[in-house]
């Protein structure tokens, strides 16, 4: 039997040649995750993978002898991209210059492993097409939920199902803050603790305002629901307005509060949202503490599947990055999951929790119920705790399932009331 040969000029030739030697990996960004990836490669020495280059600004202060004497440390991105590295491990984050480095690597026929959720959310389809055209691959198992294998699980373990809904806790920083507040802490000192421990950036906006979770949700929607959405169409709500009194009322309702990302596809229409949400204490998401992440996927045939584990931190994320490298070294390719460009055009119809802070006077409840009634929204309960002063009185109204657009119209009218000390806090409730 004759042995097939691979033409030297074909896109497959570099891939075939790499099977004869270890996959040469170059790390771009030697921060928390990058150094953890190098540490795993140095200590575990996975078969078929070799760390050859590290690129970082001011790389001299990053140099680590434990990474091995063969590693080349560089501040010259052009030189590393032009080197014999087979795969660029991009761990810098952000759209630029990381996006430029990734595109140049793919155009040169190299493969890419990245944890860059923002880049994949906005440009993932384009980058996958470029990789396929040039004979390389792009893998991003670390882009969602840190070290939890959600993306490989969807691509391989659940590809045979039709996922209709996904929901979960996708940001470890927010989960740490809210679970600490559930135990009685205040927002500001908990945020400071998260920053000290490296869970939150100096500017925490991406996390606490929901943009990080939004990017991850958009990625999961493409893979699980098979819809390509513009992440900017998902309007996240911040956790910064949640206070201790909200956790107190939530406990009375048998609930707690978590930042939840949700998406659902029904009869071709797609709904998606990110924000602080009341969840039943019996829900698996209520059990998630600290920096843990959780994703629940609901399949038409297979039912619910839950992924849970540490979603933040250098080591968990590095595990996913190294797993992608090992998969590439052993010839694994991403599963091509077709998706369709889709607009977000549906709404969730769920109960809502609305907390008011008022300077008390007669007629407040009547005005609120009137505004809700005009939008045909039924009230479920009105709750008022004792012990608060009349000039700063918090109370809660919960309403039956309704469309968010109808509730927002009612709240727009309510916000004109002269007794309000701050805008009402509206949180969806999962049952």
Tell me the C-alpha distance between 246 and 189, whole Å: 17
Which residue shows structure tokens 């918090």? 394
CB 19 within 8 A of CB 49: no
Sign for the pseudo-dihedral over CA of 269, 274, 276, 279 = positive
Whether the link from the prior residue into 97 is cis, omega within 30° of 0, is yes
Strand ranges inside 322-430, DSSP E? 340-341, 349-358, 379-384, 393-403, 425-430
CB 316 within 8 A of CB 33: no
Tell me the C-alpha distance between 2 and 88, whole Å: 36
Closest CA to 375 of 426, 409, 424, 415: 409
CB 421 within 8 A of CB 392: yes
Which residue shows structure tokens 């000029």? 9
Residue 108: both structure tokens together: 């040169």
| First CA to last CA distance, the chain | 64
Instruction: Tell me the H-state helices in 27-143.
Output: 32-44, 77-81, 98-107, 117-134
- H/E run at residue 59: none
Tell me the C-alpha distance between 279 and 254, whole Å: 8
Phi-psi group of 93: left, alpha or beta (phi > 0 → left; psi -120 to 50 → alpha; rest → beta): left
Indicate the SS3 state at residue 271: strand
Tell me the C-alpha distance between 386 and 189, whole Å: 27
Residues annotated as catalytic (active site), given as ranges: 216
């Amino acid at each position: 039997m004759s042995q097939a040969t691979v033409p030297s000029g074909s896109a497959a030739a570099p891939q075939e040649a790499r099977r004869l030697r270890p996959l040469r990996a170059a790390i771009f960004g030697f921060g928390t995750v990058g150094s953890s990836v190098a540490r795993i490669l140095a200590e575990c020495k996975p078969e078929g993978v070799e760390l050859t280059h590290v690129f970082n600004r001011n790389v001299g202060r990053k140099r680590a002898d434990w990474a091995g004497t063969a590693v080349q440390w560089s501040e010259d991105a052009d030189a590393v991209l032009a080197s014999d590295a087979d795969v660029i491990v991009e761990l810098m984050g952000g759209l630029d210059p990381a996006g430029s480095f990734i595109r140049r690597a793919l155009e040169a026929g190299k493969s890419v492993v990245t944890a860059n959720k923002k880049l994949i959310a906005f440009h993932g389809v384009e980058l996958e097409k470029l990789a396929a055209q040039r004979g390389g691959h792009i893998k991003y198992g670390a882009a969602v939920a840190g070290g939890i294998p959600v993306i490989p699980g969807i691509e391989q373990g659940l590809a045979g199902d039709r996922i209709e809904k996904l929901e979960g806790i996708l940001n470890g920083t927010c989960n740490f803050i809210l679970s600490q507040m559930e135990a009685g802490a205040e927002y500001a000192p908990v945020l400071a603790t998260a920053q000290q421990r490296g869970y939150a950036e100096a500017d925490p906006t991406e996390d606490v305002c929901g943009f990080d979770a939004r990017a991850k949700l958009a990625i999961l929607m493409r893979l699980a629901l098979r819809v390509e959405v513009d992440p900017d169409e998902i309007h996240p709500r911040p956790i910064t307005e949640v206070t201790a009194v909200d956790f107190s009322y939530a406990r009375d309702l048998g609930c707690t509060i978590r930042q939840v990302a949700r998406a659902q596809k029904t009869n071709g229409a797609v709904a998606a949202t990110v924000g602080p949400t009341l969840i039943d204490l019996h829900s698996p998401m209520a059990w998630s503490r600290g920096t843990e992440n959780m994703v629940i996927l609901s399949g038409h045939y297979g039912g619910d599947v839950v992924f849970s584990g540490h979603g933040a931190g250098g080591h968990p994320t590095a595990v996913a990055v190294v797993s992608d490298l090992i998969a590439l070294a052993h010839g694994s390719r991403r599963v091509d999951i077709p998706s369709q460009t889709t607009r977000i055009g549906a709404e969730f119809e769920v109960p809502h929790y609305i907390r008011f802070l008022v300077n008390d006077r007669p007629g407040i409840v009547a005005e609120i119920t009137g505004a809700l009634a005009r939008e045909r929204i039924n009230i479920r309960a009105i709750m008022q705790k004792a012990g608060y002063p009349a000039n700063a009185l918090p109370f809660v109204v919960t309403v039956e399932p309704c469309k968010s657009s109808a509730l927002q119209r009612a709240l727009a009218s309510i916000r004109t009331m002269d007794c309000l000390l701050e805008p009402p806090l509206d949180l969806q409730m999962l049952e």
